[in-house]
Structure 1
Amino acid sequence: MDIIPAIDIIDGVCVRLTRGDYNTKKIYDGDPLHVAKSYEDAGIRYLHCVDLDGARTGHIVNEETVRKICEETALEVDFGGGIQSDADIQKAFTIGVRQITAGSIAVLEPETLIRWLRHYGPEKIILGADFKYGKIAISGWQESSSLDLLSFLDDYISRGIRTVISTDISRDGMLSGSSEKTYETIKSRFPHIRLIASGGIASMDDIRKLNDMNIDGVIIGKAIYEERITLKEITEFIASC
């Protein structure tokens, strides 16, 4: 299992939200690069980076912050938030991210995402399937859709998507444990995809449970900042895998 810390950015600093509510913003560190380097020093290979300003405005905002992380660390960065156009995705890859996470555009402009998938290849495109009570949410989780999570996944996996990040918005930032039953259902129905679980991770026990379920990766955010999970514990887990 891949351990993937999250860095969410607003106004160039590291923040966390609760259940995607921008009014709950809490600043944890003024220097995302410093945080990213601490993850790299702990032996972590992957980073999930989200431009929350971009997610809300519909275009990339914090590109220079992300560029510094890509240039000054060896972390493999997947990036999302505000990627809504050809110019946006080109910019993301130009600043050095390894993969982009496509969320809102998968709902609003599916033909664009399919075109990107064909052009860049499935190894470069992650489907962001963020859900609340079984329905897909978009625009930085500020809007709900009528799309059913499993039907949404079925459609895109049949079109070539191989990697999915699925966040349970109702648990995100709550430190209440992950949506294990949902991820078990997804993995059972689509066993060949790379499934990355996100939302609610509060302890190493949560991570071990997902690992035992053969979930391929897990994104951790608030639990690290709040020291519910330490970098030492992550390092030891990585070494044991």
Structure 2
Amino acid sequence: MDIYPAIDLRNGHCVRLTQGDYDRETVFDDDPAAVAKRWVDQGARKMHVVDLDGARDGVRANADAVAAIVEAIDIPVQLGGGVRDAAEASRLIDMGVDRVIIGTAAIEAPDEVQKAVEDVGADHVIVGIDARDGMVQTRGWLETSEVTAIDLARQMVELGVRRFIYTDTSRDGTLTHPNFDAVAELSDNVRYPIIVAGGIASIDDLVGLAKLGVEGAISGMAIYSGALDLKSAIETIDEMTTAG
């Protein structure tokens, strides 16, 4: 299981939001590229980046910061936030992003998701399923749809999607542990790789997710607050994988 450090961008800064609330923001660093290099130095093999302004407004507003991160590190970067069509997905892949994460468009413009899969390949497309109480949220979690997480995943599989990120938005940034039951239910219904975000607070949480067989786990608040040591966490999961 891969552990992805999260770099959330707003106004060019590296920030964290509590439960996705734009009014509950903590700025951690003014140099996102330096933060990315710091996590690589601690053993990160993949990076998770979100343009929060883009997620909310539908227009990517942190393009310079994203480009700086991609230029600064030599590990794969997956990017979400404001990727609403296949053309933008292609542009991001061309600039060096490894995988694009599509969230809102999966609900509002599923044809664009299918086209993105066709244009850049399923290996480079992830659908982000952000849910509260099982219902998918969109537009930076400001709107709640009438579609369940499992139904959306099934619909996306029909369009060729082969990888998902699942976030329980009620737990994101709270250090209250992942929603293991929801993750297990999604895994049982979707036989494709799942990366989990939201609520991770400890190495025990990561071990629990690894036992569920998920492909990856995204850590934000835990590593920024010091609740979780990234280097130790990566070593622990690597040892667990080798032993298992």
Give the TM-score normalised by the residue count of structure 1: 0.96
Counterparts of 1:231 and 1:220, CA distance in 2: 9
SS of the equivalent of 1:27 reads strand
Equivalent position of 1:128 in the other structure:
128
Equivalent position of 2:179 in the other structure:
179
Counterparts of 1:147 and 1:93, CA distance in 2: 29
Q: Is 2:104 the counterpart of 1:104?
A: yes
Give the C-alpha shift of residue 42 in structure 1.
Answer: 1.5
> Which residue identity does 1:206 align to in structure 2?
D
For residues 176-206 of structure 1, give each alpha carbon's deviation from its aligned partner in whole angstroms, at most 9, with x where no partner exists. Answer: 0001011111112223x11101100001110
Q: Is 2:170 the counterpart of 1:209?
A: no
Report how many residues are paired: 240
Give the C-alpha shift of residue 216 in structure 1.
Answer: 1.2
Contact 2:43 2:231 in 1 (8 A): no
CA RMSD of aligned residues (A): 1.2
Task: Give the unaligned 5+ runs of structure 2.
Answer: none
Contact 1:16 1:173 in 2 (8 A): yes
For residues 96-141 of structure 1, give each alpha carbon's deviation from its aligned partner in whole angstroms, at most 9, with x where no partner exists. Answer: 1101000001111111111111121110100111101110000011
Counterparts of 1:216 and 1:172, CA distance in 2: 19
| Correspondence list, 1:3-152, <5 A | 3-152=3-152
Counterparts of 2:54 and 2:190, CA distance in 1: 30
Contact 1:18 1:173 in 2 (8 A): yes
Give the C-alpha shift of residue 174 in structure 1.
Answer: 0.8
For residues 26-83 of structure 1, give each alpha carbon's deviation from its aligned partner in whole angstroms, at most 9, with x where no partner exists. Answer: 1011111111001111221111100001111111111111111111211210001111
> Which residue identity does 1:10 align to in structure 2?
R
| Correspondence list, 1:155-234, <5 A | 155-191=155-191, 193-234=192-233
Distance 1:238-1:42 versus aligned 2 partners, 3 A rule: farther
Contact 2:114 2:159 in 1 (8 A): yes
> Which residue identity does 1:221 align to in structure 2?
G
> Which residue identity does 1:71 align to in structure 2?
E
Counterparts of 2:204 and 2:237, CA distance in 1: 14
> Which residue identity does 2:104 align to in structure 1?
S
> Which residue identity does 2:206 align to in structure 1?
I
Give the C-alpha shift of residue 239 in structure 1.
Answer: 4.0
Counterparts of 1:232 and 1:118, CA distance in 2: 37
SS of the equivalent of 1:22 reads strand
Counterparts of 2:138 and 2:187, CA distance in 1: 22
For residues 126-164 of structure 1, give each alpha carbon's deviation from its aligned partner in whole angstroms, at most 9, with x where no partner exists. Answer: 011110111000001111101111111111112221110
Counterparts of 1:50 and 1:165, CA distance in 2: 12
Q: Which runs of 4+ in 1 moved over 3 A?
A: none
Q: Percent identity?
A: 36
Contact 2:87 2:116 in 1 (8 A): no
Distance 1:235-1:112 versus aligned 2 partners, 3 A rule: closer
Counterparts of 2:172 and 2:17, CA distance in 1: 8
Contact 1:60 1:88 in 2 (8 A): no
SS of the equivalent of 2:123 reads coil
Give the C-alpha shift of residue 85 in structure 1.
Answer: 3.3
